[in-house]
Structure 1
Amino acid sequence: MSFLSAQDMGQAAKSARTVVISGVPDGVLSNDVMSDILVIHFQKAKNNGGDVEEVKYPTTEQGVAYITFEDPGVAESVLQKNEHRLEDRRLPRYYPLKVSPYCENVFSSVTAVLDMSVFRDKFVLEDLIQELKKKNTALRFGSLQPNGHIPVQGSFPAIKWLRDFLLLKAKSLSEDKKEESKSHQRPKKRLQKRRLTREVNDFVRDAEGEKQEVVLDTDIYLYMKHFFFKELLTNTDVVISNITDGDITTLHLQRGRSRRDAGQVLRVKEKIENQSVRLLKSLRKERIDLERCTRDKKKCRSVCESVKSRYPDVLVIPYDTHIDVIGSSSTVFKFTQEVNKKIQSLFQNR
């Protein structure tokens, strides 16, 4: 299992200095002039800004720009400012901007709880965690609990890397224990034969592609399930089950009753992985807080549903305390802006 390369670490460091800007007015001025205006805005002290290293505008998404600062502390400071208004004498009016953290995936943070107790016999857990912290600085670990559980937070790719690495570690330890037990125990031949037969059959099925596993960010999974699963599973006999553990969802793929095509499970897995990579690069999530809708949460959800009819590519996920909105940066920005205005108007007219 390889750790993050120097190039990956460099990219991660740059990501920490980069923010995503939504709401940039398209077509008002030339792209070069708009880039200059963005630089001026994000260099001003009143906007919590600082020295800008790079501006990417225009991008593949309408109204979206990427600003990279020389100092990661400036990026954090810019994100903490409640309101950004793009103003310049060359603009016909001011434009509100939405500033979000940049990440390689849809969300800046994924949280998981790891059970490290399996490693107690072979490692000092505190030492193992310190080693992981050094190898992958994109991860943030909480306090190690007496039962061996520890919360960890980071980008989805970093969490997935950690999961895969620890699974390989656990598998290696399990194989070591099996080897040790062989020299101390007399195996029951019948039970051993059945177990060996089952393991061989499982290996053959996996080699043929009958069983596969895919790990996804939970919200990426929900978006894919809503918009893409029907297309991905067309003309296939693949059964998908899922296990969701907070921000992580594991898909288990296996072949159905048909015996005609042994490789279709593997092909569906590759399609899901390829689609998830595309979505990780393009999607963003915004949260609409329902605290102000204490007595009228139903009306606020109705406002979301009415606005959604004009944004077919947006996924709206309602919860008791908030509503998550997932889509492209520009679309999510426009959607949440419209919803917030309607909710504000709803309470002003009461």
Structure 2
Amino acid sequence: MATGQSARATRTVVIAGIPDGLVQDELMADILTIHFQKSRNNGGDVEEVTYPTRNKGVAYITFEDQGVVENVLKKDQHLLQDRRLPRHYPLTVSRCCDNVFPSVTSTLDMAVFKDLCVLEELLEEMKKQSPALSFGPLQPNGHVAVQGSFPELRVLREFLLLKAESLSEKDKGEGDKPHQRVQEHGDVTESRNSVQDAPREKQVVVLDTDIYHYMRHFLPKTFQAEDVVISGVSNGDITTVCIESSGTRAGAEHSLRVKKRIENCSVKLQKILWRERICFENHGRGEKLRYRRLCERLKPQYPEVLTIPYDTHIDIVGISSDVFGFAEEVRNHCR
């Protein structure tokens, strides 16, 4: 069964850039079917269109023939055209296995900066720094929702950490630096190995939360090192990993090597991992238990898939073909 689902994934492409909310979802699925069946678009017979998905503007197209996938990918540009749409819309078409977390949302807590700068001005600076991201309004508690690709969010988070460092230099009277106080919020996991009480050298890595969990579950040695404290603080879709070592030169070099190792591992996983979300319909205790037991039964068939249970859903993380098959089996069993 798993092999069959994996083969199906090779006949599937992921479509991004679909205009959201212009027509009903069923009609948009029909428009996509028509587009990818036309020979002028290098298309062919479509077996199934999965739309909408949990990612806004993203659809899965499964063809009857795997060869059509190669032809569709060869086309320089796909323009979605239909008389029921106000204009033409460029689409991004890629293999199912090439896509990783196309869009994430993170809630940033900017309250830690309120004594050091004007938050409204900082928000404008963030918008200029990351024009590809979508920013929500600044809330009274200092929170702001930010949506976009994970690489863009990672760049923004690193910019804020550097900003915190520079502002803290101007405010020597404060004991903790802003980015240290930020890390007091969220779920913290920590790995300690024979660390002496001494001034510590800090390195920071920003990871996608699901990639972080995947690394800790399947690649735990990535976060294990002598004389180093490695802690992860999750804030929505982003996890900040802090690497601390003693203040010696050797310790500083060691923490840099650990940081590089984590970064390299994250980059590799970015290229091969996919995430699907199975939402609970009724949110009842019995339904949640049923879904979780089913996931446990499927794990031997998909040993490299990680399931992360939450109160309202289960996230499935792994190689795209495995995730595709795992999610399909869960949905089929629970219909």
Do they superpose with TM above 0.5?
yes
Match status 1:329 vs 2:320: yes
Tell me what 1:280 maps to: 270
Deviation at 1:24, TM superposition (A): 6.7
The CA deviation string for residues 276-322 of structure 1, in whole angstroms up to 9 with x for no partner, is 01111211110112215734332221111111111011001112221
2: CA distance between counterparts of 1:281 and 1:53?
A: 30
Of 41, 44, 47, 2:33 maps to 47
Match status 1:270 vs 2:260: yes
2: CA distance between counterparts of 1:260 and 1:170?
A: 26
Deviation at 1:274, TM superposition (A): 0.3
Within 5 Å, give how 1:176-255 maps onto structure 2. Answer: 176-177=170-171, 202=199, 206=201, 211-230=202-221, 233=224, 236-255=226-245
SS in 2 for 1:330: helix
Letter matched to residue 149 of structure 1:
H
Within 5 Å, give how 1:1-350 maps onto structure 2. Answer: 25=8, 45=31, 47=33, 49=35, 79=59, 84=61, 86-87=63-64, 105-115=100-110, 118=113, 123=118, 125-177=119-171, 202=199, 206=201, 211-230=202-221, 233=224, 236-255=226-245, 263-291=253-281, 294=284, 295-344=286-335
SS in 1 for 2:139: coil
SS in 1 for 2:332: helix
The CA deviation string for residues 104-131 of structure 1, in whole angstroms up to 9 with x for no partner, is 75352131223167367655x4454344
Deviation at 1:85, TM superposition (A): 5.3
Classify 1:285/1:264 alpha carbon distance in 2 versus 1 (closer, same or farther; 3 Å).
same
Letter matched to residue 227 of structure 1:
F
SS in 2 for 1:263: helix
SS in 1 for 2:301: coil
1: CA distance between counterparts of 2:302 and 2:283?
A: 23
Classify 1:264/1:177 alpha carbon distance in 2 versus 1 (closer, same or farther; 3 Å).
closer
Q: Could you tell me whether the CA contact under 8 Å between 1:214 and 1:252 is conserved in 2?
A: yes
Q: Could you tell me whether the CA contact under 8 Å between 2:233 and 2:239 is conserved in 1?
A: yes
Percent identity reads: 43
Letter matched to residue 332 of structure 1:
V
Q: Could you tell me whether the CA contact under 8 Å between 1:117 and 1:147 is conserved in 2?
A: no
Q: Give the stretch that moved more between structures: 241-250 or 166-175.
A: 166-175
Q: Could you tell me whether the CA contact under 8 Å between 2:278 and 2:313 is conserved in 1?
A: yes
SS in 1 for 2:334: helix
Deviation at 1:77, TM superposition (A): 5.9
1: CA distance between counterparts of 2:232 and 2:10?
A: 44
Deviation at 1:44, TM superposition (A): 7.8
Classify 1:54/1:175 alpha carbon distance in 2 versus 1 (closer, same or farther; 3 Å).
farther
In the comparison of the two structures, how many residue pairs are matched? 252
1: CA distance between counterparts of 2:166 and 2:243?
A: 24
Q: Could you tell me whether the CA contact under 8 Å between 2:99 and 2:274 is conserved in 1?
A: no
The CA deviation string for residues 122-164 of structure 1, in whole angstroms up to 9 with x for no partner, is 55x4454344324422211111223443222222222221122
Letter matched to residue 238 of structure 2:
I
What's the Cα RMSD here? 4.4
Classify 1:216/1:175 alpha carbon distance in 2 versus 1 (closer, same or farther; 3 Å).
same
SS in 2 for 1:106: coil
Classify 1:100/1:317 alpha carbon distance in 2 versus 1 (closer, same or farther; 3 Å).
farther
Q: Could you tell me whether the CA contact under 8 Å between 2:275 and 2:323 is conserved in 1?
A: yes
Deviation at 1:271, TM superposition (A): 1.0
Q: Which has the higher contact order (CA 8 A, sep 6+)?
A: 2
SS in 2 for 1:221: helix
What are the ranges of 5 or more consecutive residues in structure 2 without an aligned counterpart? 14-27, 43-54, 69-93, 174-197
Letter matched to residue 164 of structure 1:
E
1: CA distance between counterparts of 2:126 and 2:251?
A: 41
TM-score (norm 1): 0.58
Classify 1:244/1:27 alpha carbon distance in 2 versus 1 (closer, same or farther; 3 Å).
closer
Letter matched to residue 311 of structure 1:
Y
